[in-house]
Structure 1
Amino acid sequence: MNSRARIDKRALILAKGAEVMTRRGYHGTGVLEIVQAAGIPKGSFYHYFASKEDFALQALDHLYTPRLARYCRALQDPSRTPRERILAYYGELVAHFARQANPEYHCFIGSLSFEMAELSQPIGQRVEAILQRSVALLADCLEQARAEGEVDVSVDCAALAEFIGNAWEGALMRMKVGRSSTPLSIFLAQLERLLTPH
């Protein structure tokens, strides 16, 4: 098998397996369910992954490296001011969910966090590293906004970035429970107020 085919097969297993694990949970997903979802023999799994834990770690990187890259590009968009970048990014996400009749959100990192962060140190550390990277990107953008007078000069950008990230995750959870995008609309309205200098 050439290297391109190997990469494609590994990506297929990661994508399909992560979907199953997000729905069924870490403990509710076995190697058999992962390979069945990917349509591959069970032996192929161990060609790419040392264990189910190793699969989860690689799946986190596979899913969130490109997502963080997109977040970074959005928050560095030179055509917008720093405040506009943040509001546009979250505004587009809210609009995406608002277009759905019954908004659904399946979060791999959230599912793993609840179930495995305390039970598996490697998974907990990887999840935390991803979340911290997201917060750092937002904090950098907020610092630019502060420098340009778009938010109050007294704002603690690192703390505000943590708060925004946590509030967004909470709004997504409420949307999932209530099958309504209203919590996201409330989040966006409050974010706009937070990012307005007083």
Structure 2
Amino acid sequence: MSNQARNDKRDLILAKGAQVMTRRGYHGTGVLEIVQAAGIPKGSFYHYFASKEDFALQALEHLYLPRLERYQAALLESPLSPRARILGYYADLIAHFARQECPEYHCFIGSLSFEMAELSQPIGQQVEAILLRSVRVLADCLEQACAATELDADTDCLALAEFIGNAWEGALLRMKVGRSVTPLKIFLTQLERLLTPR
């Protein structure tokens, strides 16, 4: 098997297995469910992953590195003003959920965080590293907003980025529970106010 074919098969297992694990949880998902979702023999799993924990670690990287790259491009590489980039990014996500008849959100990193962060140090560390990278991207954009006088010069951008990220995750959770985008709309309204200089 060529390296490309091997990588394609690994990516298929990661994508399909992560979907199952997101819905059923880490402990509710066995290797058998992962390989069945990917349509491969059970023995093939161990050609690519040393264990279920190794699968989860590789799935985190597979899913979230491209997302972080898109987040960075949206917040740091757009010709829009820093404030407009941030508000536009979240407005686009909210519009995506609003188009769904019944808003659904299945988060692999969230699912692993709740279930495994305390039980598996490697998974906990990987989740934290991904979340920190996301916070730093947003903090960099907020720094640009300060430089453009769109935010007060004395703003603690890292703390504000942490707060916005945590508020967004909370709003997503409320959306999932209530099956309504109202918490996301409230988040965006408050974010607009938060990103207005005094």
Bin the TM-score by the shorter chain. over 0.9
Match of 1:127 in 2: 127
| Residues paired across the two proteins, number | 198
8 Å CA contact retained: 1:77, 1:85: no
Question: Which position in structure 2 is the counterpart of 1:187?
Answer: 187
Q: How does 1:52-131 map to 2 (within 5 A)?
A: 52-131=52-131
Structure 1 moving runs of 4+ over 2 Å: none
Amino acid at match of 1:54: D
Between the aligned partners of 1:63 and 1:78, the Cα distance in structure 2 is 23
TM-score by length of 2: 0.99
Uncovered stretches (5+) of structure 2, i.e. residues with no partner: none
Deviation at 1:152, TM superposition (A): 1.3
**What SS is found at the alignment partner of 1:154?**
coil
Distance 2:78 2:60 in 1: 29
**TM-score, normalized by length of structure 1?**
0.99
Percent same amino acid among aligned pairs? 79
- The structural deviation recorded for 1:159 is 0.3
Aligned position for 2:8: 8
Structure 1, unpaired ranges of 5+? none
- The one-character-per-residue Cα deviations of 1:119-176 (angstroms, maximum 9, x if unpaired) are 0000000000000000000000000101110011221100000000000000000000
Q: Output the aligned Cα RMSD.
A: 0.6
Question: How far apart, in 2, do the equivalents of 1:197 and 1:77 lie?
Answer: 23
Q: CA deviation at 1:107?
A: 0.1
